[in-house]
Amino acid sequence: MLFHVRMDVAIPRDLDPDERAWLLAAEEARALELQRSGTWVHLWRVVGRYSNISVFDVADGDELHEILWNLPLFPFMSIAVTPLTEHPSALSANP
């Protein structure tokens, strides 16, 4: 099942610099791991914001919830999730 996910990040400015560096490195490592596994299918930056638009391919909403909940930056994110399904006019639906 595909999900469109927007993640807006707001790390506090007064967060310890070492903790911030650790969080960013851990987030990047987890994102790369999920992309390599085929779970995090697309990852795009929103220009001018500390945000991304992503597409996840997971079994269901529960699996997506667990993935998002366990991202290192999750405590600093606002997240919007939209389930996706193929459009009947998509080329892939009309070979």
DSSP 1: -
Its pTM stands at 0.91
Give the residue among 8, 61, 71, 75 at the shortest CA–CA distance from 35: 71
**All structural domains of the chain:** 2-93 (3.30.70.1060)
**How would you write the pLDDT of the chain (95 residues) with one tens digit per residue?**
999 999 999 999 999 999 999 999 999 999 999 999 999 999 999 999 999 999 999 999 999 999 999 999 999 999 999 999 999 998 887 87
